[in-house]
């Protein structure tokens, strides 16, 4: 668990994030992702200069699977993670939860074309509609920066079975400020370019600055590991790529000591 000073810092930072971005989270993001749903995956490959497949495969390599596992994919979007997991272990039971119907519509169609079934739940991930101790593993990919992490991570811990694992991937704030500054400059130009290439709507265009600000006010890999420990996860590990711009975390729910 984090010490008292860390706990206060985490609470203050989460309060700041919610205060700064609450309006966008509440009023704009659903429309943005509905607008870009049809080309979301293609845009990621363009924006990453073709590296997105490497990012995905590196994340998937951290995930341990067993036959018959029950898995929850949080903020599942176009079901890229769920489909990839089923390709590795076809007898998984996967539930995808996302608040955006258009993203999940694309995800269901993608899964069906490959002959996979992924149950879709449209709901707010801050209050997961599942019982305690229900899933063997939970994943979330490229969404945490848009969420209230205390609520979402606590809910994930609740629905995990004891011994189950949480796997997390997202862009992070690098420790090196110069690396961060160069990245945000590139990302700003890239967002503008991809919006033009794919014909993004006004909502997506208007959120360009938000996407940069929410990243620059997110966590480093080390800080996110400490936050997970603070919220009650154990055996927390992380791996980074590109100087800490991208991070993959693995954390476990352990049984309480009697």
Q: Are 122 and 214 in contact (CB under 8 A)?
A: no
CB count, 10 Å around CB of 102? 18
Per the structure block, which two tokens stand in for 44?
């990621």
Q: Residue 236 and residue 171: Cα distance in Å, rounded?
A: 18
Strands 160-171, 246-252: pairing is antiparallel
Q: Residue 134's pLDDT band (boundaries 50, 70, 90)? A: very high
The C-alpha angle with vertex 127 and arms to 126 and 132, in degrees rounded to 5, equals: 125
The pLDDT, as a whole number, for residue 86 is 97
pTM: 0.94
User: Which residues pair with residue 137 across a beta bridge?
Assistant: 71, 165
**Residues 6 or more apart from 10 whose CB is under 8 A from it?**
2, 150, 226, 227, 230
Q: Which one has a higher pLDDT value, 131 or 205?
A: 131
CB 167 within 8 A of CB 63: yes
Give the chain's domains with CATH numbers: 4-21+49-178+219-252 (3.40.50.150)
* Segment 57-100, tens digit of pLDDT: 999 999 999 999 999 999 999 999 999 999 999 999 999 999 99
Question: What secondary structure letter does DSSP report for 210?
Answer: H
Stronger pLDDT, 133 or 176, i.e. the higher one:
133
**3-class SS shares of the chain: helix, strand, coil, % to 5:** 55, 20, 30
Task: State the pLDDT at residue 194.
Answer: 83
pLDDT greater than 70 at residue 147? yes
- What is the tens place of the pLDDT at every residue in 23-60? 999 999 999 999 999 999 988 888 888 888 999 999 99
H helical segments located in 114-201? 149-159, 177-198
């Amino acid at each position: 668990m984090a010490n008292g000073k860390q706990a206060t810092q985490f609470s203050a930072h989460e309060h700041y994030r919610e205060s700064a971005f609450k309006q966008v989270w509440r009023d704009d993001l659903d429309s943005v992702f509905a607008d870009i749903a049809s080309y979301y995956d293609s845009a990621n490959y363009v924006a990453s200069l073709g590296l997105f497949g490497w990012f995905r495969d590196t994340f998937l390599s951290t995930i341990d699977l067993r036959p018959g596992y029950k898995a929850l994919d949080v903020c599942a979007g176009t079901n890229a993670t769920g489909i990839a997991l089923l390709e590795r272990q076809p007898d998984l039971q996967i539930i995808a939860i996302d608040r955006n119907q258009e993203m999940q519509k694309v995800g269901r169609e993608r899964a069906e074309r490959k002959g996979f079934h992924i149950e879709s739940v449209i709901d707010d991930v801050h209050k997961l509609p599942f019982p305690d101790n229900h899933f063997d593993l939970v994943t979330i990919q490229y969404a945490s920066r848009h969420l209230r992490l205390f609520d979402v991570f606590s809910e994930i811990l609740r629905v995990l079975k004891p011994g189950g694992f949480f796997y997390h991937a997202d862009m992070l704030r690098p420790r090196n400020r110069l690396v961060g500054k160069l990245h945000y400059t590139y990302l700003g130009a890239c967002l503008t370019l991809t919006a033009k290439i794919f014909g993004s709507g006004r909502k997506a265009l208007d959120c360009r600055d938000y996407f940069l600000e929410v990243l620059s006010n997110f966590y480093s890999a080390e800080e996110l590991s400490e936050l997970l420990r603070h919220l009650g996860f154990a055996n927390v590990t992380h791996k980074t790529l590109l100087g800490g711009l991208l991070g993959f975390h693995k954390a476990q729910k352990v049984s309480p000591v009697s």
